[in-house]
Amino acid sequence: MRAFSNLLDSLIYTRSRNAKLKLIADYLTATPDPDRGWAIAALTGTLDIPAVKPGVIRALIESRVDPVLFRMSRDYVGDTAETVALLWPAPALPDDPAPLSLDQAVARLLGLSRSDAPAALAAMLDRLTAEERFALLKMATGALRIGVSARLAKTAFAQAFGVDVEVVEELWHGLTPPYTALFAWAEGRAEAPDTANLPLFRAFMLAQPLEDLRVELDDYAAEWKWDGIRVQLVRAGGATRLYSRAGDDITASFPEVASAFVEDGVLDGELMVRGAAQGIDLGHEGAASFNALQQRLGRKTVSAKMLAEAPAFVRLYDILFDGAEDLRGQPWTARRLRLEAFAARLPPSHFDVSALIDAPDFTALEAMRAGARDAAIEGVMLKRRDSLYVTGRRAGLWYKWKRDPFTADCVMMYAQRGSGRRSSFYSDYTFGCWTTAGDLLPVGKAYSGITDEELKFLDKFVRDHTSARFGPVREVEKSLVLEIAFDSIHLSKRHKSGVAMRFPRIARIRTDKPATEADTIDALKRLVT
């Protein structure tokens, strides 16, 4: 645990990407199996310890220290694991207790039932230093938040052993922690694990923002950017999997799509649910807004009623494999023809191909993009016709040209402290708009879009204009207007205001505008597509 805790501590205080890569690589080469396997699983988010939940940790600490002290400390620190690690009382143990290895900790926690977990976790925390307690709790809850993405950790693995990160990525999803076979291959002690007949995830090809660039449509194909979730459909060895962009297996949430995909291959597309057409001819049957899809995300089981009311389908973008044939090394034009042929063998009730936009030039495409306000449209994709399917964002190959955001002037109503480096600031803001009766109702929450200087200004405003406190939340005087940008807005029965914003962020602080002149909820509802 000591080496792992030192790694986490170093990563937290290191901003340089290259320095983080070296820290992880050095740890992986110096640490034996299986500790390093559990560590890389924790860093990539593939370590699942179901017996330890945040509620268990809170109950443990509140039985040992004043609950009010813990909650006030948690509010100030902004992180439960760090707060518990620092507040945990030192037990009367021998001067030099036997060190606890990462493998011992994980093996113990994985073998626990929910009822046994509190006592076993407490016994381990008693044996550790504050730094080791922090590492154990972060690992057990799966919420590291140390500025290391799964891709960065895999890149560090590849650099540590001099192997191709794309090969690591593909092998990864056919293996389970602590990845001893992967380490054996990387160190040249064994052949690569055989994953030929496994429904593996492959890393997605991503797009760069178009920004102010203009391109020639002779070189680039244009298609609509749909507002669902990007998915990968994989069938191999008689099994089908749906993966999210992060590589999470979401098959159980969309069983009707998985059961309909019976052709061996790997496809890239957008998962959506059926909906009414929005009065604009986009070359497709209608798709519902993201808000409709959101009701099904994260569900382990889906009721027959939900399957009927929100039927899912995939709008296909690209093909990576046709059967066992790898097509990623072929240009987009060739892959598009193979995709259309592959899709013709799939049931149209669950699959269609994203239509190309027929525009004579970029100026015409610009006008079409400006006029597309369908609920399921996010913007336009531009794909170089000769582009291979390569992972990550590569300059000049694919561009995303998102439609211009909506904006609304809203009044700040509540604020809460942030997490991590923002834990000392009130940085999460709830804002509202006016009803016809003159009441403010919350319409969204945002924490992004502001500079460090603006954060300090807003934090001071919250502290100087607090009117009430509700635990960690402060209610403020309704006098400050924030201009909020958002991608779309949808009707919502779950919100008192009746609307829900998609990706709200703070565009600017309107100190020039009185709160009484902020927008109304009726005005927001007129923006619903």
Catalytic residue positions, numbered: 225
Sign of CA dihedral 411, 417, 423, 425: positive
Contact 171, 202 (CB under 8 A): no
> What's the sign of the alpha-carbon dihedral 232, 233, 235, 240?
positive
Long-range contacts of the stretch 380-384 (C-beta < 8 A, 24+): 380/222, 380/223, 380/224, 380/225, 381/207, 381/222, 381/223, 381/224, 381/225, 381/317, 382/207, 382/210, 382/215, 382/220, 382/221, 382/222, 383/220, 383/221, 383/222, 383/223, 383/332, 384/219, 384/220, 384/332
Task: Identify any residues that bridge with 268 across adjacent strands, giving them in sequence order.
Answer: 232, 318
d(CA 226, CA 494): 24
Count, residues in the chain: 529
Which amino acid makes up residue 435?
T
CA distance linking residue 255 with residue 240, whole number of Å? 10
Q: What is the DSSP string of 113-133?
A: -TTTHHHHHHHHHHHS-HHHH
For the chain, counts of helices (H) and of strands (E): 19, 21
Ordered DSSP codes for 467-479: EEEETTEEEE-TT
DSSP-derived 3-state class of residue 107: helix
- Burial of 392: CB neighbours in 10 Å, binned 0-12, 13-18, 19+: exposed
Query: Which residues lie below 8 Å from residue 240, measured CB to CB, with a gap of 6+?
Result: 199, 233, 234, 251, 258, 259, 261, 262
Report residue 411 as tokens.
């009044």
Place of tokens 């001067």: 95
Tokens 């597509």 appear where?
A: 529
Residue 106 tokens, joined:
């994980």
Cα of first residue to Cα of last residue in the chain, in angstroms, is: 52
Segment (H or E) for 105: helix 102-110
Question: Is 378 within 8 Å of 502 (Cβ atoms)?
Answer: no
Give me the torsion for CA of 272, 274, 276, 280, rounded to 10°.
50
